[in-house]
């Protein structure tokens, strides 16, 4: 395992740049984090401009992966515009596990951007970080995220019924995961 890892250099893919969020990203980030449809399956509701300012500062400061619950939340940039963000947190240093997540502006659905960004994060997790297992926890009504998990080769591992209070009501949690050797076989 290659921890600690400090995320300072952008990750470039064929079409995207994954990088730390900065204050000038405010308009782009607010454009999707303020939308009800984007937040439908997230643990938070639409955010105000002031809340987005605070989140950008928080995301931009989250650079170190070393201990359980450390996280990064890089912007997904396309042609100079932030169209979403990724999430990677260390679930367990001892068990070499992490959790991945994503949020994308709906105007950019259907072009493979989420797959491309998630692939870059999984390459980081299993390559440079040397992790063993990465999971995604999601609302099982979120068909787009389930489809992305499947495109990434993640398998459904669990469905927890009414396991968390979600926006005033009990909600379910779906868990998808992939192991390093499965990822390596897909990338070979």
* Predicted pLDDT of residue 1: 66
Closest CA to 27 of 42, 44, 60, 49: 49
Rounded to the nearest 10 degrees, what angle do helices 113-123 and 143-151 cross at? Answer: 50
Stretches where the chain sits below pLDDT 70 are 1
Question: What is the DSSP track for the chain?
Answer: ---SEE--SPEE-SS-EEE---GGGHHHHHHHHT-HHHHTTSSS-PPPHHHHHHHHHHHHH--EE-STT-EE--EEEETTEEEEEEEEEEEETTTTEEEEEEEE-GGGTTSSHHHHHHHHHHHIIIIIS--SEEEEEE-TT-HHHHHHHHHTT-EEEEEEEEEEEETTEEEEEEEEEEEHHHHHHHH-
The per-residue pLDDT for range 27-70, each reduced to its tens digit, is 999 999 999 999 999 999 999 999 999 999 999 999 999 999 99
* Predicted pLDDT of residue 2: 82
């Amino acid at each position: 395992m290659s921890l600690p890892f400090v995320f300072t250099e952008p990750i470039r893919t064929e079409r995207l740049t994954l990088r730390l969020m900065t204050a000038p990203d405010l308009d782009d980030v607010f454009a999707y984090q303020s939308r009800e449809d984007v937040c439908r399956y997230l643990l938070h509701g639409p955010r105000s401009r002031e809340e987005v300012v605070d989140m950008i500062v928080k995301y931009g400061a989250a650079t170190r992966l070393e201990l359980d619950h450390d996280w990064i939340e890089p912007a997904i940039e396309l042609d100079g515009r932030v169209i979403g963000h990724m999430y990677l947190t260390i679930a367990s240093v001892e068990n070499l596990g992490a959790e991945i997540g994503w949020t994308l502006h709906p105007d950019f659905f259907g072009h493979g951007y989420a797959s491309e960004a998630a692939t870059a994060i999984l390459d980081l997790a299993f390559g440079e970080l040397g992790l063993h297992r990465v999971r995604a926890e999601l609302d099982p009504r979120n068909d787009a995220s389930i489809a992305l998990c499947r495109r990434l080769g993640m398998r459904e591992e669990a469905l927890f019924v009414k396991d968390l209070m979600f926006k005033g009501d009990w909600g379910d949690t779906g868990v998808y995961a992939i192991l390093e050797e499965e990822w390596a076989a897909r990338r070979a």
